[in-house]
């Protein structure tokens, strides 16, 4: 196998890294037989969820970690030679691969293409202490996980997500994101989220297709026909109750620099791949973290008058649930549990389309 072939094989695995709404905000430029430049771009200019580009920066981290794991599984070591955020919205990462003494990370590498998002209800079978330990120990130093799986924690989390979903469904800024990232009449999508993977029943999907044709339709439906109730119950409240646990991954110190979020993304990908290795399914639940930060920093994010008061309410609920200290250090939130793998999912663009 020639070295260029090896690099292409590594990239062909790395492109399966998760990114917000399957945006795949990276392009690859080969600098040499063992050298690569990754051109990143964030979506903050048009995505209300990509606050300061931090979710995209987390995605860059998931890509780098996936590339590192893929390389290790083939007897190579990935080295980050340069991380350039001088143009913060379009960072660059220069990486190289070097021969390693032994192959490693084989178990995690085997999960790269299997890992996906499961938005449908999961089994409520509690996590074992061994499973929790396995997931916790895969995180690097400086990162920790806060579990929400006991007592009323799951119900309170369901209520939090139920309220967050109302905000998400009643502002035009979020509508524009949802409109652009859903591929209708699809089981799979190379660059979006197929409607069959949303976790909604066929009837709800059919209704969404019609209502989401314009913001005017959405606003009318929400105002006069209680349009948010069905999707909030079906897509947020019920799945929140039907899982083994919710979790919050947080750092020792509040993240500030783009590099902090890249490192967080690397930790999140290891956690997700480890969950997949344990035959668990996972769904991200990051909107409460985003809306809470808008509230905490008093940063307007919508032309709708109700948006900021609702964000304040979400922040209060989140801080009551996990504590203010953890809320300010949180980088990722989600739910997981055992269950069937999704039959519909986001795929990825072919490698040829991801070259710079």
pLDDT exceeds 80 at position 4: no
Question: Residue 218's pLDDT is what?
Answer: 95
Q: Which CATH architecture has domain 3-115?
A: 3-Layer(aba) Sandwich (3.40)
Give residue-wise pLDDT tens across range 74-108.
999 999 999 999 999 999 999 999 999 999 999 99
In whole angstroms, give the CA distance from residue 147 to residue 134.
Answer: 13
Distance CA 36, CA 19 (A): 20
Q: Read off the pLDDT of residues 266-276 as tens digits, 9 standing for 90 and up.
A: 999 999 999 99
- Parallel, antiparallel or unpaired: strands 245-251 and 330-338: antiparallel
Cα 223 to chain centroid, rounded: 30
pLDDT of residue 226: 76
Query: With bands split at pLDDT 50, 70 and 90, how would you rate the model's confidence at 57?
Result: very high
Q: Is the pLDDT of residue 5 over 90?
A: no
Q: Which residues of 9-36 are buried (b: 16+ CB within 10 A; e: fewer)?
A: ebbebbbbbbbbbbbbbbebeeeeebeb
Residues 108-159: tens digit of each pLDDT = 999 999 999 999 999 999 999 999 999 999 999 999 999 999 879 999 999 9
Of 3, 4, 15, nearest to 350 by C-alpha is 15
Per-residue pLDDT tens over the stretch 161-194 = 999 999 999 999 999 999 999 999 999 999 999 9
Residue 108 tokens, joined: 């995690």
Residue ranges per domain, the chain? Answer: 3-115, 129-346
Residue 70 has pLDDT above 80, yes or no: yes
pLDDT score, position 294? 98
CATH, domain range 129-346: 3.40.109
Do the domains spanning 3-115 and 129-346 agree at the CATH topology level? yes
Please choose, from the candidates 82, 71, 67, 80, the residue with its C-alpha nearest in 3D space to the C-alpha of residue 15.
67
Distances in Å between the Cα of 116 and the Cα atoms of 107, 197, 342, 348 are: 16, 10, 8, 12
Q: Is the pTM of this model over 0.85?
A: yes
Give the pLDDT of residue 225.
Answer: 79
Helices (H), 233-306: 238-241, 258-277, 287-296
Sort strands 26-32 and 35-40 into parallel, antiparallel or unpaired: antiparallel
Report d(CA 324, CA 340) in Å as an integer: 35
User: If 0-12 CB within 10 Å is exposed, 13-18 middle and 19+ buried, where does residue 282 land?
Assistant: buried
pLDDT digits (tens, 9 = 90+) for 202-247: 999 999 999 999 999 999 998 887 778 989 999 999 999 999 999 9
Res 13 pLDDT > 80? yes
């Amino acid at each position: 196998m020639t070295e260029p072939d090896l690099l292409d094989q590594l990239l062909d695995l790395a492109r399966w890294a998760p990114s917000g709404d399957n945006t795949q905000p990276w392009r690859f430029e080969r600098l040499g037989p063992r050298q690569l430049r990754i051109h990143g771009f964030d979506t903050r200019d048009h995505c209300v969820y990509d606050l300061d580009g931090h979710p995209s920066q987390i995605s860059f981290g998931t890509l780098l970690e996936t590339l590192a794991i893929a390389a290790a599984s083939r007897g190579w070591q990935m080295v980050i030679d340069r991380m350039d955020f001088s143009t913060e919205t379009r960072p660059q990462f220069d990486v190289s691969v070097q021969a390693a003494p032994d192959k490693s990370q084989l178990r995690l590498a085997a999960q790269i293409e299997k890992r996906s998002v499961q938005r449908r209800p999961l089994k409520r079978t509690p996590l074992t202490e061994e499973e929790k330990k396995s997931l916790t120990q895969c995180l690097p130093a400086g990162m920790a996980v806060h579990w929400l799986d006991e007592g009323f924690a799951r119900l309170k989390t369901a209520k939090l997500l139920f309220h967050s979903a109302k905000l998400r469904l009643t502002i035009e800024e979020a509508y524009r994101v949802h409109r652009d990232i859903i591929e209708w009449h699809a089981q799979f999508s190379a660059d979006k989220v197929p409607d069959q993977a949303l976790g909604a029943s066929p009837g709800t999907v059919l209704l969404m297709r019609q209502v989401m044709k314009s913001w005017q339709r959405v606003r009318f439906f929400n105002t006069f026909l209680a349009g948010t109730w069905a999707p909030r119950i079906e897509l947020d409240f019920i799945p929140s109750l039907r899982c083994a646990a919710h979790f919050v991954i947080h750092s020792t110190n509040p993240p500030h620099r783009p590099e902090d979020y890249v490192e967080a993304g690397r930790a999140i990908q290891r956690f997700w791949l480890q969950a997949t290795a344990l035959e668990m399914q996972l769904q991200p639940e990051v909107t409460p973290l985003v809306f809470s930060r808008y509230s905490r920093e008093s940063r307007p994010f919508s032309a709708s008058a109700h948006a900021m008061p609702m964000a304040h309410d979400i922040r209060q609920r989140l801080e009551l649930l996990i504590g203010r200290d953890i809320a300010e250090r949180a980088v990722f939130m989600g739910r997981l549990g055992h269950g069937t793998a999704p039959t519909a999912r986001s795929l990825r663009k072919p490698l040829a389309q991801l070259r710079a």
